[in-house]
Chain A
Amino acid sequence: MNSVTFTFDGRQLSAEEGLTIAEALKSNGIRLGGRSMRLRVWRDEYHPLKEVPSAWVTVDGVANINAYRMKICSGMRIAAQTRRSLLAYIGRYSGTGFYYRNFTRSETARNFFFERVKRTNDYGGPMDPEASAASSIGELDFRPSASHSPDILIVGAGRSGLSALMACAPSAKVIVVDALPGEKVEENFKQLKLDLSSAEYAGASSFAEGSESLDSLLKSRNATLLDNTRVFGAFDGLFTAVSGYSQVHLIRPRTVILATGCEEVKPLFRRNDIPGIMTGRTLLTLPGKMASGARRAVLLIDSPVSPAYLTRISAAARPASVYLSYTPGRAGREAILSSTGIDSSALRVGVPLEAGGALRVENITVQLQGGARESVAADMIICAGRRQPRMEIASLLSLETGMGEEGMPVPEADGSMRCVEGVYACGSLLHPSPVASVASGMAAGIAAGASLSGIGAQPPAALTSLLRHEPARRMETEHDGRTVVCPCLDVTLADMRKLYSEGYDTINRMRRFSGLFMGPCQGARCYRNTFEEFMKLSGGKLDLPTVRPPLVPVYLGALALTDMEDE
């Protein structure tokens, strides 16, 4: 790895190439951004967005650069705009929701602390409003918006989205949107091709014709891939997406295939946000050397994950043993063994998982079938799983679905799901099994193509037979009052219980008082756990808050360059 040299506040420093400014500073022992007042750890250790808002630095005289968003380059002159927050000190005595709990009680406390708190909030440094805007630097180079009017919009280029693309009629103009960069989509494609060649996928493999590479698939299906792009809104037939940080796309499709898939949700653990217990996704975003080494890791998997994903986690952490809460088929079992590299004696299947952990994980308890418990020594627990469907875009479309026992929407008999006119949902949004995920994608592709031509088309029977529902048993995790449910604003389980008993008896009331899932991530990572815990308190009652755009944060600079004239 090459190293680069740069200066920070006049000091000469060096770091590895390819890190962000914040990571480079961290490797030199310099931390930007705030510390959590409840957990007493730096926010970037656990923050769900993997970046702390307004950790501003000045780079080569250009102010207001977020250190988490820009890569380090040789010769950069960096200056901090940050100072240590007062709350970092008083915060350890303070309660939930940043300021609400303490400062809504006593006016004396307010008068004493309030003004100071207001001006020293915990989200890092001030931006320098007088400085020139950083529009000339790299990723913040905002570009004018682009308009598209495809026949079919496929949201998500995972296994299901790519399957849908394979089944699309070649005459239709298609746009595929995915949040991952192109090379990751390429990986998805290769894995899908590999899977389609195996016997389990026999009914689906005929759709892969004319797709030797991702490029040839896109070309033969008249499709454009917008990689590194996230859909952030759906407004009366207009889908809005943002590429990187810089460009807004306005997409007016005739039909839409939602292949948004699942998201790995972090189960709640006692002291859950502290390294030592991490989700697979967290592990993948860390540099490899931090995760590997002489650690004994235990991998807990709650619902089926793709073998490619498992391979990547295992390469980073080399798990000593793997526990599944479900029972895979023979092919699935072999895939897990080969992708994790463990031998079959270290794999336990069909166990209701019950994991306990603390800051230093010394042992975890796993409950085996029949009530027996097994204790395993580990330095690290990795949770790959507890996957929940990503329903945000579907919710914006006012999609109403019956929810099955696993909290999954219930698909129609043909496996795909038409939620509103012209919208088809497929993939792990509906089916936890990887095979069914592919089959439902293809069914959605066929249905979308048929709706365009006006001629009905049924998916072949060989495809529908692949749609089967594999319910998983849920992971039971050990947590106590200190468990943090909302990592942006440090709301703990004890806070939720206390607020409920005090009369904040709906999630809306609780949210408005505590700031629960109203931090910078807007609940993107925590609301499912929060809802689950709230339902335990309220005996199953929950009035769902409305999902609102933008689904991901969008720069005002990019929005300002949006041209609505064509609309």
Chain B
Amino acid sequence: MEGKVDVAVIGAGIYGLMTAHKLLLRGVRNVAVFERLFIGSGQSSRNAGGIRAQFANGATIRFMVEAERQWKCISRELGYNILFTRDGYLFSCFSDEDEGLYALHRKIQNENGVNSVWLEPGQVAELVPGINRDGLVGANFSSQDGILHHDAVISGLMFEIRRNGGKIFEYTPVERVERGASGGFLVHTRSGVFSASYVVNAAAACAPGIASQLGTTLPIKPVRRELIATEPMRHFMKPMLVSLKYGITIHQSLRGEFIGHTSANEPENFDLRAGFGFMVQYAKDITKLLPFMKNVRIVRQWAGTYDMTPDNSPVLGPAPGMPNFINAAGSSGHGFMMSPAVGSMIADYIGTGRIDDLMKPFRLERFETGELLTELVLSNRGVL
């Protein structure tokens, strides 16, 4: 099998699929997506589906506000309901010392278009009945954040891309990428060689391997993270609950299952087996935060891979000196929520050659110039 495509996208995760979808919307018809396993087989179908703009640096917040704006329209765009509900993200605060930091976060967020507010313990307990109020100082809360169904997004994109004539090759790992004639590339896959004018490297934790073949170094490391689901309960907890004290995120899914994770120490590898240490740590942490959870049973635990960068923010945009080789990787655990904006901005770049102002801060060069997108609190405490 051989062929010539305009854009070769490596990786059929959320970045790859969103980019392909937005390219097809722009009228770039000859798009091929190459996937090592099956569509959405990586963290795109292993995450919790949280969407938030409550970050702590301006560039990320502005990017996420744009992404949330686009998420609202995705269901209609795909003709497929992605079950996006905006019930908010609640960052609970259990220490007086953190209160100032929370205020600072709110200030940055409010300046950049996020409606986050401070809630008193009584208001927190209204939103999260049963929360351990021992030491609870309050919470940051933004009602514009929410939860969607990641599997629905992946399915919807798959059908829409196929409908619009895009090609997705599953079980077709890319073995080698090299430069071809006239600024293009040759993509060697297991089932043949494709020549492409543009290559989008959306291979998450495998992206550095692709980039290094073209002489670019991506500072991305894989880290295992795990999630747990419980048996279903009637729905009573609206927002996604985050606790920095316990390093926990938890929400109740549409089916009523509680889904969450804790910041247990995890190894830097691609191991996707579930670990018992994590299960125990989660049980200890969650029963402290939400004491009623001890009467709830775990039914499933699974692992995924985070592709971490030094400043916990993705690398987006063309590689230095190679305008036709575009990286979209290293999302560090909040890639899914950024994806519609990532897809449309990369498609715009391929169409017009112009890099969106919102995407500029995420360029790879920032690791050399020192303009890092460091978060104040969240990344240090394992909540990403």
A-to-B contact residues, CB < 8 Å: 53-54, 64, 66, 98-100, 103-107, 110, 114-115, 117-121, 123-131, 133-135, 140, 142, 233, 235, 238, 240, 503-504, 506, 508-509, 512-513, 515, 518-520, 522, 543, 546, 548-550, 553-560, 562, 564, 567
Are B287 and A557 closer than 8 Å at their CB atoms?
A: yes
In the assembled complex, which residues on chain B have CB atoms less than 8 Å from the CB atom of A504?
A: 155
State the 8 A-B residue pairs at the shortest beta-carbon distance, nearest first: A129-B130, A557-B294, A559-B283, A553-B297, A126-B234, A512-B151, A560-B283, A53-B231
- What are 10 pairs between A and B in contact, CB < 8 Å? A54-B233, A114-B83, A121-B256, A124-B234, A142-B294, A233-B279, A238-B276, A546-B302, A554-B297, A559-B284
Give the contact stretch, choosing among B53-61, B74-82, B318-326: B74-82
The answer to whether A130 and B231 touch (CB under 8 A), given A98-B255, A559-B283, is no
Contacts beyond the supplied A553-B231, A558-B283: 18 A-B pairs with Cβ under 8 Å:
A53-B231, A110-B83, A114-B83, A118-B254, A120-B235, A121-B232, A123-B256, A129-B290, A235-B276, A506-B38, A513-B151, A518-B300, A548-B302, A549-B279, A550-B300, A557-B295, A559-B279, A560-B294
Are B294 and A135 closer than 8 Å at their CB atoms?
A: yes
Q: Which A residue sits closest to B125, measured CB to CB?
A: A130
Whether, in the assembled complex, B115 has its beta carbon less than 8 Å from a beta carbon of chain A, the answer is: no
Instruction: Give bound CA distance, A376 to B137, whole Å.
Output: 71
Whether, in the assembled complex, B372 has its beta carbon less than 8 Å from a beta carbon of chain A, the answer is: no
Question: Which of A66, A107, A127, A549 is close to B276, meaning CB atoms less than 8 Å apart?
Answer: A549
Instruction: Give bound CA distance, A120 to B254, whole Å.
Output: 10
Are A99 and B296 closer than 8 Å at their CB atoms?
A: no
In the assembled complex, which residues on chain B have CB atoms less than 8 Å from the CB atom of A98?
A: 255
Are A512 and B45 closer than 8 Å at their CB atoms?
A: yes
Are A522 and B300 closer than 8 Å at their CB atoms?
A: yes
Shortest CB–CB separation between residue A541 and chain B, in angstroms? 12
Instruction: Give bound CA distance, A553 to B296, whole Å.
Output: 9
Are A121 and B276 closer than 8 Å at their CB atoms?
A: no
Q: Which A residue sits closest to B275, measured CB to CB?
A: A235
Instruction: Give bound CA distance, A513 to B40, whole Å.
Output: 13
Q: Which A residue sits closest to B228, measured CB to CB?
A: A556
Instruction: Give bound CA distance, A504 to B38, whole Å.
Output: 12
Are B280 and A564 closer than 8 Å at their CB atoms?
A: yes
Shortest CB–CB separation between residue A544 and chain B, in angstroms? 13
Instruction: Give bound CA distance, A558 to B279, whole Å.
Output: 11
Chain B residues numbered 96-127 whose CB sits less than 8 Å from any CB in chain A: none
Shortest CB–CB separation between residue A177 and chain B, in angstroms? 16
In the assembled complex, which residues on chain A have CB atoms less than 8 Å from the CB atom of B358?
A: none
B-to-A contact residues, CB < 8 Å: 38-39, 41, 45, 75-76, 80-83, 85, 129-130, 149, 151-152, 154-156, 158-159, 162, 230-236, 254-256, 272-277, 279-280, 282-284, 286-287, 290-302
Are B295 and A134 closer than 8 Å at their CB atoms?
A: yes
Shortest CB–CB separation between residue A502 and chain B, in angstroms? 8
In the assembled complex, which residues on chain A have CB atoms less than 8 Å from the CB atom of B287?
A: 556-557, 560
In the assembled complex, which residues on chain A have CB atoms less than 8 Å from the CB atom of B82?
A: 104
Question: Which of B234, B282, B284, B293 is close to A123, meaning CB atoms less than 8 Å apart?
Answer: B234
In the assembled complex, which residues on chain B have CB atoms less than 8 Å from the CB atom of A518?
A: 300
Shortest CB–CB separation between residue B259 and chain A, in angstroms? 12
Question: Which of B234, B256, B297 is close to A556, meaning CB atoms less than 8 Å apart?
Answer: B297
Are A107 and B81 closer than 8 Å at their CB atoms?
A: yes
In the assembled complex, which residues on chain B have CB atoms less than 8 Å from the CB atom of A522?
A: 299-300
Q: Which B residue sits closest to A502, measured CB to CB?
A: B159
Question: Which of A121, A235, A555 is close to B294, meaning CB atoms less than 8 Å apart?
Answer: A555
Instruction: Give bound CA distance, A515 to B257, whole Å.
Output: 13
Greatest chain A CB density within 10 A among B231, B234, B274, B279 is at: B234
Instruction: Give bound CA distance, A431 to B340, whole Å.
Output: 54
In the assembled complex, which residues on chain B have CB atoms less than 8 Å from the CB atom of A564?
A: 276-277, 280
Question: Which of A131, A233, A509, A549 is close to B292, meaning CB atoms less than 8 Å apart?
Answer: A131
Instruction: Give bound CA distance, A101 to B7, whole Å.
Output: 33
Are A508 and B38 closer than 8 Å at their CB atoms?
A: yes
In the assembled complex, which residues on chain B have CB atoms less than 8 Å from the CB atom of A555?
A: 294-298
Are B255 and A562 closer than 8 Å at their CB atoms?
A: no
Q: Which A residue sits closest to B292, measured CB to CB?
A: A129
Shortest CB–CB separation between residue B38 and chain A, in angstroms? 6
Instruction: Give bound CA distance, A53 to B297, whole Å.
Output: 9
The answer to whether A118 and B274 touch (CB under 8 A), given A107-B76, A512-B45, A556-B296, is no
Greatest chain B CB density within 10 A among A99, A105, A509 is at: A509
In the assembled complex, which residues on chain B have CB atoms less than 8 Å from the CB atom of A506?
A: 38
Instruction: Give bound CA distance, A89 to B81, whole Å.
Output: 23
In the assembled complex, which residues on chain A have CB atoms less than 8 Å from the CB atom of B231?
A: 53-54, 123, 520, 553
Instruction: Give bound CA distance, A562 to B294, whole Å.
Output: 13
In the assembled complex, which residues on chain A have CB atoms less than 8 Å from the CB atom of B254?
A: 99, 117-118, 121
Are A515 and B255 closer than 8 Å at their CB atoms?
A: yes
Are A118 and B151 closer than 8 Å at their CB atoms?
A: no
Greatest chain A CB density within 10 A among B76, B129, B295, B298 is at: B295
